[in-house]
Structure 1
Amino acid sequence: MWDSFKPDNWNTLPHISGRVASEMDVKNGLAVFYIPEGSFVLDAKLPTCVIQINEKTGERTPAVVIQAEQIGEQVYLGLRYLDGGNGICGLEEVEQLEEPNEEFAI
């Protein structure tokens, strides 16, 4: 389900927008995580390109956000990685991009 993808295809990735994710959305690959209650959808244009920055090492990893939800003051993003897999991070851990940049070349 979380296969690799070509940078040119970033804007066609399955994603969830306009509502919080359900457990079924996660099972169907539209979302990375499911919060049973208390979250609300973040008003964001999805999918969107980001660079995830590891706070400890400074490592920069290109990714595409396919989900954005907020609980209290914390924003959680569901990510897809170009080489496959997924992840979850906070909004403060990414640099947002308008479109893929040179870091998306693999």
Structure 2
Amino acid sequence: MIEQELWGILLAYNLIRQVMAEAVSKLDSVLPNQLSFASCSMAVTQIFATIPLTSPGNIPKHYTLLIEQLDYFKLPRRREERSYKRWVKPKPSKYPSNKNKNTSQLN
């Protein structure tokens, strides 16, 4: 049963990626990694949930609408230049700092 579930998940993943690849090929200005997988998977799931309620002759029409709809799930462009450099925040100490350390050494 576990093997069957894994095959089902892999099949669903590849189906979603295939639909995304077809949508990218029809859209000129979109790269394959610019579509949101989560949003596309929800759209594909929604279309397959509603298809059984319609006649089989309308499936190609619904599929073309799905391909057009995936254009709305385009991710924003990546920022190449940052306004601030990355840096690691210092880990806060568990113990309070001794603020009078310098003054006690002077006495």
Common fold, TM-score beyond 0.5? Answer: no
Could you state the TM-score of these two structures normalised by the residue count of structure 1? 0.24
Which structure has the bigger radius of gyration?
A: 2
Structure 1 or 2: more helix by fraction = 2
Structure 1 or 2: more strand by fraction = 1
